[in-house]
A and B are shown apart, each in its own frame.
Chain A
Amino acid sequence: MVTTKVNLLRGDSNKLVEATLLDLAPSHINNFRQEWKASLRQFSQEDKYWDWAFKKRAASNYGNYECYAIEADERTQGLMMIETKWHRSRMKSRQPLVYVEAISVAPWNRVQIRRPPQFRRVGSVLLEFARTRSAALGYEGRIGLESLPGAEGFYEGRNMMRFEPEIDPFVDDELPLTYFEYPPRRS
């Protein structure tokens, strides 16, 4: 069971604010439904139909999935789901890595919806925690993810390696998402 203190930044002042990163709970799913969804739909966000209850069930039933949330000011500020067993690096080594199935920040923390955002650093903290889980599992900090359209600049800014989409012509009607990977973290 995970409960750890993290620091976010207030969007208007850049002051450090203490938050909590913990396992995804029903309260977070309720927050998503009651406080996030309407705004996500209003602003046509890509993740407006994501089903976090479903993701939570997967994490409860299968040990290779893990779900986390960040809380601050008594609200859910960010959500993440990772997979820890089935995915391999797309680099030649084909080493195991932690795959970020989903990462999402609250609408009031998105610059497309609110400027300045209420909190900064939510996505960065979640990403960093995925690397932490990877290191804890012996994967040396390797993580992989498929970026939502428009978010590629963030992952490039974090010096993740970019891989052009692998198109499966039998399945993909649209261009798949761009894949990014963190290589092993050197100590």
Chain B
Amino acid sequence: MTAQNSSPEQLEQQAMRDFMARMQDPQVALEDARIEDEASCTIGAGTDWGDQLGSVITNPQGYYQHQRIQSLVMNELWTLLKDCDLGAGLSSAFAVGKPLLFKRLKQPSESVQQQLLAAFDDSMTPDGPKEIVPDSACSSVQKVIYTVLLEQDWKAMSVAATTAVQQSFMQRISLPKTA
């Protein structure tokens, strides 16, 4: 029986039969135990479902949504900063801006939540994520970033960028000169 020419019920029944056969086979059980003993570790997988994005995350639609929205938001922060032509200051500005943005999104307003969820939906097909995030989703997320970040946050990023540029410049001009 192959997956292609079996009904869902047949697939399920066959899968359960195979599972029960493995469960009842003492040799398989001993082999499973041997592998666990050899690994000698805590068997576990997965990560905690954080709440860094406020009730968007506690929405049980899940951890996948959390990860995707988080990635969309941080990518757009990077894009916004990159468009500011910060040069050597870009990474420093982003390093400062990222935790600030996480902090501002801990308890987002209802409107911000809806915008983020809409951007998430826009980036997905029924079967999984779109290969390329649509401009519309990017644009929505950028609007959210401008909405939630405070003037002091942008100033902090600006200071970080300026400092980094100064340091980079001073390092260059202090290099030993050859005649």
A162 within 8 A of B: no
* A76 is an interface residue with CB less than 8 A from chain B: no
B15 and A136 contact, CB distance less than 8 A: yes
Interface centre among B58, B60, B71, by most chain A C-beta atoms within 10 angstroms, is: B60
Q: Mark A1-16, 1 if CB is under 8 A from B, else 0.
A: 0001111010000101
Near B by CB (< 8 A), chain A positions 10-66 give 14, 16, 45-47, 49-51, 54-55, 57-58, 60-62, 65
Which chain A residue has the least Cβ–Cβ distance from B124? Answer: A86
Contact B64 A58 (CB under 8 A): no
Given A16-B26, A62-B61, A170-B75; A124-B46 close (CB under 8 Å): no
Are A145 and B46 in contact, CB atoms less than 8 angstroms apart?
Answer: yes
- How many residue pairs at the A-B interface have CB separations less than 8 Å? 175
B71, A171: Cβ atoms under 8 Å?
Answer: yes
Most A C-beta atoms less than 10 A away, residue of B47, B62, B64, B70? B62
Interface size on B, residues (CB 8 A): 53
User: Contact flags (1/0) for B47-87 with A, using CB distance below 8 Å?
Assistant: 11100000000101111100100110011011000000000
Chain A contacts with B in 157-187, Cβ cutoff 8 A:
157-158, 168, 170-171, 177, 187
From B16-24, B109-117, B132-140, B168-176, the one touching the partner chain is B16-24
Binds A, one of B34-42, B141-149, B151-159: B34-42
- Give 24 pairs: A residue, B residue, CB < 8 Å, sorted on A: A4-B19, A7-B24, A46-B44, A47-B48, A49-B48, A88-B128, A101-B63, A102-B44, A103-B44, A104-B44, A105-B43, A123-B44, A124-B32, A125-B23, A128-B22, A132-B18, A135-B14, A135-B18, A147-B45, A148-B46, A153-B40, A153-B41, A158-B35, A170-B78
A: residues with CB less than 8 A from B are 4-7, 9, 14, 16, 45-47, 49-51, 54-55, 57-58, 60-62, 65, 81, 83, 86-88, 96, 100-105, 110-112, 120-125, 128-129, 132-133, 135-140, 145-148, 150-151, 153-158, 168, 170-171, 177, 187
